[in-house]
């Protein structure tokens, strides 16, 4: 059994396969996933798993060079990003964030019901 925080086999494998500059999106339960974009659906019920639980597990294994979140997101939500290693955080209109997500290696769907609880993470390198 894997020892780290990220136990989901599909998500762990994706993180291991990501290269420099690849995009991974972690989204709330309502973020649309475009046809052809891989969806790792972790949602069980409202709030389970929560957005930040999933984000923290992913960040335990993924090097992030930059990120993006919606300008419409609640300021309290954005404040929670400041204590995480997500590189420079860009703010995009939600419609633009959805367009950007079409280029993701995958979108991870959480059970989060907080509006605009979505983040784009571009991978960096560990050296």
Q: Binding residue per annotation — 74?
A: no
Catalytic residue among 7, 20, 91, 99: 20
Q: Binding residue per annotation — 116?
A: yes
C-beta separation of 26 from 95 below 8 A: no
C-beta separation of 88 from 66 below 8 A: yes
List the Cα angle 23/81/92 in 5-degree steps.
Answer: 55
C-beta separation of 68 from 119 below 8 A: yes
Q: Binding residue per annotation — 28?
A: yes
Q: Is residue 20 flagged as an active site residue?
A: yes
User: Which residues are registered as beta bridge partners of 88?
Assistant: 66
Closest-CA residue to 113 (of 30, 52, 2, 54):
30
Cα 74 to Cα 37, 63, 84, 97, 115, distances in angstroms: 27, 25, 17, 15, 8
Residue numbers in the known binding site for substrate are 28, 94, 116-118
The residues annotated as belonging to the active site are 20
């Amino acid at each position: 059994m894997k020892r780290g925080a990220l136990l989901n086999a599909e998500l762990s494998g994706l993180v291991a396969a990501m290269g420099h500059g690849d995009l991974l999106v972690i989204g709330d339960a309502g973020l649309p996933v475009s046809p052809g974009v891989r969806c790792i659906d972790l949602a069980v019920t409202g709030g389970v798993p929560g957005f930040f639980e999933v984000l923290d597990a992913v960040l335990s294994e993924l090097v992030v060079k930059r990120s993006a979140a919606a300008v419409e997101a609640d300021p309290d939500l954005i404040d929670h990003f400041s204590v995480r290693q997500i590189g420079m955080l860009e703010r995009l209109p939600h419609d633009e964030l959805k367009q950007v997500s079409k280029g993701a290696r995958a979108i991870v769907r959480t059970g989060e019901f907080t509006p605009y609880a979505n983040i784009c993470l571009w991978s960096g390198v560990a050296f």
